[in-house]
Amino acid sequence: MSKFDFITIWIIARNEGKAIWQTIKYLLEQIYSHDKFEIILVDGNSTDNTRQVAAEILSKWNVKYKILNEANFRSGYWFNFWPCFARNVIINNSSKQAKYIAWIDADCRADENWLLNLYKCIKKFKDNEKIVWVWWPRLVETNKVTKKELVLNYYFTSCIVSLGNPAFCSSWLDKCKNKICEMMSLAWYNSIYKKDIIQKYMYDEKLVVTDDVEINYRITKDGYKFVLCPDAKIYHREEESFCDFVRNMMRYWINIWNAIRKHKSFIRLYVPIAVWYFLYTISLPVLIYFSDKLSWNVYTPLIPYTILWILALAVFIENFRKTKSLWSLLVIPLVYFHLFVYWLGVMLNLLRIKWDFRK
């Protein structure tokens, strides 16, 4: 594969000692020549053995690698893990040989052809200056996971809950295979992009946790596009517990709200829905009390909750069809709690409350 370009594979992690060995193991089994890629892990000052585990497995293979502690590159910040900064550390420390950077999360299992397929896909558009990255949604990890984990992960990637977000729902993307597509944003945990382009933008470190959402907005505003690569398969295991789900939802919501605050034209439907539902809940007793005076049926103010119940039921059916488990009943109250967590993320951000949800 001497004619193939050199690629940097990046990983950011914090307290992933239990999962990082598997992620790296599958990267080391890639059929892409080992002298044509490097692995850079930036660790968010973990309190477990993440760096040690990664070093132990990487040192046994003939592959270039770097294991960096994010804390050694910054000072004076309260946040234990600063993802925007960590990603910039990787970009700045990527080999000068690298023309592309591929991204995988610290809790993923990559197909052995993953890197090769991403590379082949982006090379098809090498003469198109506006193609900056190649991407495909993550697949849910079903190997050696409990039914409860499976339910949580399928809920997290629900087409209904995400309102068809292509980062999680790939069914309608089939028509875009190997074509140029325009979307507002995408998650980068299964992607490859041109290094020289991403170096022009970099992550906004002032936003702390806002990563792909905000930088995607800036890149696409300048006319850059991406190509879908369905052959690039990564199996993602993220939601191991209810607490993991809450942390991820809080992080996602803070991401969205930070982007809205920075870019006034940046809009996501989730914001008004979550805020409206919370305010409506607070005012519900008053609405019911004044139903007679407003010539309403006493049940009329409950209509939004009836709609939400129907939505929750649809999510349950979607989840049960995928998992075949009664654990899927968990998603019904989760739909309601989901809205509350989103609202809480908005409030914390508005009040500028510092909460390190990565502890």
Per-residue pLDDT of 83-137, as tens digits, reads: 888 899 999 999 999 999 999 999 899 999 999 999 998 888 777 777 877 777 7
Measured in whole angstroms, the distance separating CA 117 from the mean position of its chain's CA atoms is 21
* pLDDT at 186 (0 to 100): 67
Question: Beta strand pairing status for 131-135 and 64-69?
Answer: unpaired
* pLDDT at 65 (0 to 100): 96
**Strand order in 7-13's β-sheet?**
64-69, 37-43, 7-13, 100-104, 190-194, 131-135, 225-228, 180-181
Q: Which two tokens mark 257?
A: 């709200």
Residue type, position 2, single letter: S
Q: Which two tokens mark 328?
A: 């899927």
Q: What is the mean pLDDT of the segment spanning 22-34? A: 95
DSSP label at residue 46: -
* pLDDT at 162 (0 to 100): 78
Could you tell me what percentage of the chain is helix, strand and coil, using 3-state DSSP and rounding each to the nearest 5? 50, 15, 40
Strand, helix or coil for residue 343: helix
* pLDDT at 354 (0 to 100): 53
Could you write out the DSSP letters of every residue in 75-104? -S---S--HHHHHHHHHHHS-TT-SEEEEE
Is residue 236 within 8 Å of 26, Cβ to Cβ? no
Phi, psi of 47 (to 5 degrees): -95, 0
* pLDDT at 129 (0 to 100): 76
Orientation angle between helical segments 50-58 and 20-28, nearest 10 degrees: 20
* pLDDT at 25 (0 to 100): 95
Cα distance between residue 206 and residue 117, in whole Å: 34
Phi, psi of 313 (to 5 degrees): -65, -40
Average pLDDT, the chain: 83
CA angle 331, 332, 334 (to 5 degrees): 60
Percentage of the chain exceeding pLDDT 70 = 85
Q: Which two tokens mark 276?
A: 């409206």
CA angle 292, 298, 303 (to 5 degrees): 130
pLDDT band at residue 29 under the 50/70/90 scheme: very high
- List 315's β-bridge partners, or say none: none
Phi, psi of 255 (to 5 degrees): -55, -50
Q: Which two tokens mark 203?
A: 């992550």
Q: What is the mean pLDDT of the segment spanning 168-172? A: 63
Which one, of 46, 47, 58, lies nearest residue 13 by Cα?
Answer: 46
Could you write out the DSSP letters of every residue in 114-155? HHHHHHHHHHTTTT-TTEEEEE---EE--TT--HHHHHHHHH
Orientation angle between helical segments 242-262 and 331-350, nearest 10 degrees: 40
Measured in whole angstroms, the distance separating CA 170 from the mean position of its chain's CA atoms is 14
Torsion sign over Cα 279, 282, 286, 287: positive
Is the model's pLDDT at 156 over the cut of 60?
yes
pLDDT band at residue 240 under the 50/70/90 scheme: low
- List 133's β-bridge partners, or say none: 193, 226
Is the model's pLDDT at 355 over the cut of 80?
no
Question: Beta strand pairing status for 234-236 and 139-140?
Answer: parallel
pLDDT band at residue 45 under the 50/70/90 scheme: confident
The string of pLDDT tens digits covering residues 291-339 is 767 667 767 778 888 888 999 999 999 999 999 999 999 999 988 888 8
Domains of the chain: 7-150+166-241 (3.90.550.10)
Cα distance between residue 348 and residue 13, in whole Å: 24
